[in-house]
Amino acid sequence: MSRYLGALILVLGLASCAQPVAPAVRGTLDLRNYDWGNGPVPLVGEWAFEGGWRSVPDRWTGTAGGGPDGRGSGTYVLTVRLPDPSPPLGLRYRTASTALRIKANGTVVAQAGVADKDYTKTVAAYAPGSVDLPEAQELVLEILVSNNVYRVGGLWSVPTLGPARVQSQNEWTEEAQALALATTLATIAFVSLLFFGFRPSEKTFTTLGIFAFVVGLRPLVTGQYDLVRLLPGIPFDLVIRLEYLTAFLPIPAAVLFFESAFRGIWGPKTRLALLVPSLVFALLAVVLPLDLLTRSIQFFYPVAIPTILFAVISLGLKIRGKPGNAGFLLGIAVLGITGLADSLSAGFFATSGSLIPWGLGLFVVLQVATLTQRLLESFKKNESLLVEKELLMREVHHRVKNSLQVVASLVSLQSHRTDDKTQKATFMALRQRITAIALVHEKLYGRGLGGKPDLGEYLVDLVRLQYPGDGLESRRVAWDVHIDPLQAGVDDCVDAGLILTELMSNAQKHGLRPRHGGRLSVDVRVVNGRLLMEVADDGPGFPEAFEPSQSKGLGFRLIQALLQRHEGILSVLPGPGGRVRVDLKAPPGPR
């Protein structure tokens, strides 16, 4: 890890030190021997300023700008001697504190807000851009900067001079990069929060989504300030507050993310110490007047830098060496370095530029990759557990079925030990009920985990099991069966099977067996969300005053108890023969 940190510091150092030409001296920059093929030139060095000299990039504080507390105004002047010939040139400018007006050879070519010699008339605005310059052998640039709201004034960012076409391309590229970064992070935030909507228990994705949203906003309110380009009428006050919020909030958002990713990594007191200070500054960013808000950042550095260092070091020490945490560690390193660099730059202690949006973006991408890897590993583990669970459930259904079949066989054997017809009938009815339940488990055994038995198929098989036992009687009974297919849960199948078993047993006992033959029909249909089961025989039918709810027989009493669970009704229909219909709520289909 130390190798990565050293390499990143070295790259940042080389980038900040590289200069294509010597800086301006005493308000003059000589480019007569410069090759524009080397790219645009940053106009750094000494500019003339109100009878003296100031080095650009420049930040004035106190009364250096002519006003109190960093307020004031002044004009920066630079004479640039150009090579002959030169292509059409353009000037690219960024932000100044907090309004500027640019003249080229006496002509106003660009402005941001309203800059005035009387700084009290300043109208602040951030509007970076590029502008074409007049053709000349010598270029005199005058940049009036005025500030009435910020704690520091001056020409913060270095303008660049170069071929107009290249300047426009560079501006467009930087804007596209910032928008791409913001869009990517916003997409990550949306997907993470969407994932949380489906799995609320996964709080890691929620905190990652919040973090990505905060981070995704920062590229739009720093650098090119693309939010101003997207929303031209947005107030300057709101832009600054968003800029400060996106500086304050990443720390608590990152703490919450890591706390959810590594539960218990910090104790309650440590967690509060990491969260509360940044949240207090975030609250101040909402309620403080702008001039006070811009001064609050000075007090944020002594809080932010130790917080970032402590969080990075403590987190790195606790998760290092654990498998699957390489992405977290690398992301933490990038976040820590770019966060410190950005804090120093924002505090005017360094000029590294705004690196934190890219550091935060890379951090979020690394965390997404790590979480995705974790999620895939979890899915694989769950798949393995599901296979194991399916095997166990199949074994359970198989054993339950076998056990019930054993019980049914014992009941059947017991029925052969008595000559009492009533007892025999009781034993046979009991065996049929046990067989109906066992059949459900047999159907479940043949299906995968989570599969529901086909109620129609189950009832068809149940009817077949009810065919009379001896061959002579079987040949004398005509069966008419129609059953609609319908998937249902185990409990619904058992209840429907027991109801149908009782209805068929009653029809066989009273409608067919006294005559040793006849016709029996079974009709099961789903109509308007209701399950209709009708059993009819061509026997003598029910007595005229027969009322199922008043019956003392165990079969009808069992049916009435089961119907209460399904909002069902049992009806005896008029003949010929015996006809019974059960109307109950249809079980829900597969989910």
Angle in degrees, CA 576, 577, 583, rounded to 5: 95
pLDDT of residue 83: 93
pLDDT in tens, 291-321: 888 888 888 888 888 887 788 788 777 776 6
Q: Looking at the chain, how many residues does it have?
A: 591
Contacts of 118 (CB under 8 A, 6+ apart): 73, 146
Residue-range domain boundaries for the chain: 24-158, 181-381, 452-591
Average the pLDDT over 211-219 and give the result.
84
Pick the closest to residue 492 from 541, 563, 435 (CA basis).
Answer: 563
Compute CA distances 36 → 19, 423, 448, 507, 511, whole Å: 14, 111, 72, 103, 108
Secondary-structure percent of the chain, ordered helix, strand, coil, rounded to 5: 55, 20, 30
Phi, psi of 185 (to 5 degrees): -70, -35
Give the residue from 237, 255, 252, 340 showing the smallest Cα distance to 294. Answer: 237
pTM above 0.85, yes or no: no
- At 225-280, the pLDDT tens digits run 899 988 988 999 999 999 999 889 988 988 888 888 777 788 888 889 999 999 99
Amino acid symbol at 587: P
pLDDT at 19: 47
- pLDDT band of 325, cuts 50, 70, 90: low
pLDDT range class, residue 490, cuts 50, 70, 90: confident
- Superfamily (CATH) of domain 452-591: Histidine kinase-like ATPase, C-terminal domain (3.30.565.10)
What confidence tens digit (pLDDT) does each residue in 25-58 have? 999 999 999 999 999 999 999 999 998 999 999 9
**Measured distance CA(567)–CA(585) in Å, rounded:** 6
CB 128 within 8 A of CB 115: no
Give percent of the chain with pLDDT exceeding 70: 80
What is the pLDDT at residue 266? Answer: 86
CATH topology of domain 24-158: Jelly Rolls (2.60.120)
pLDDT for res 342: 61
336 or 418: whose pLDDT is higher? Answer: 418
Write down the pLDDT at residue 51.
Answer: 87
How many CA atoms are closer than 13 Å to the CA of 321, on its beta-carbon side? Answer: 2
pLDDT at position 10 = 37
Across the range 147-169, mean pLDDT stands at 92
466 to each of 313, 428, 434, 479, how far by Cα in Å? 75, 11, 13, 11
Q: Which two tokens stand for residue 452?
A: 């529901």
| Res. 117 pLDDT band, cuts 50 70 90 | very high
Distance CA(125)–CA(235), nearest Å, equals: 8
Would the pLDDT of 429 be above 50?
Answer: yes
Residue 63: pLDDT over 80:
yes
Share of the chain above pLDDT 90, in %: 26
pLDDT single digits (tens) 359-374: 666 777 776 777 677 6
Strand partners of residue 522: 481, 535
pLDDT band at 166 (very low <50, low <70, confident <90, very high): very high
> What does the angle CA 336 – CA 337 – CA 341 come to, to the nearest 5 degrees?
115
Mean pLDDT in the chain? 80
d(CA 441, CA 552): 31
Alpha helices (H) in 477-572, listed in sequence order: 490-507, 554-564
522 vs 263: CA distance, rounded Å: 60
The Cα–Cα gap between 356 and 222 comes to 10
pLDDT of 16 above 60: no
Name which residue leads in pLDDT, 549 or 283. Answer: 283
Higher-pLDDT residue of 380, 48: 48
d(CA 536, CA 577): 7
**pLDDT for 349 beyond 80:** no
d(CA 294, CA 282): 12
Q: What is the CA radius of gyration of the chain?
A: 42
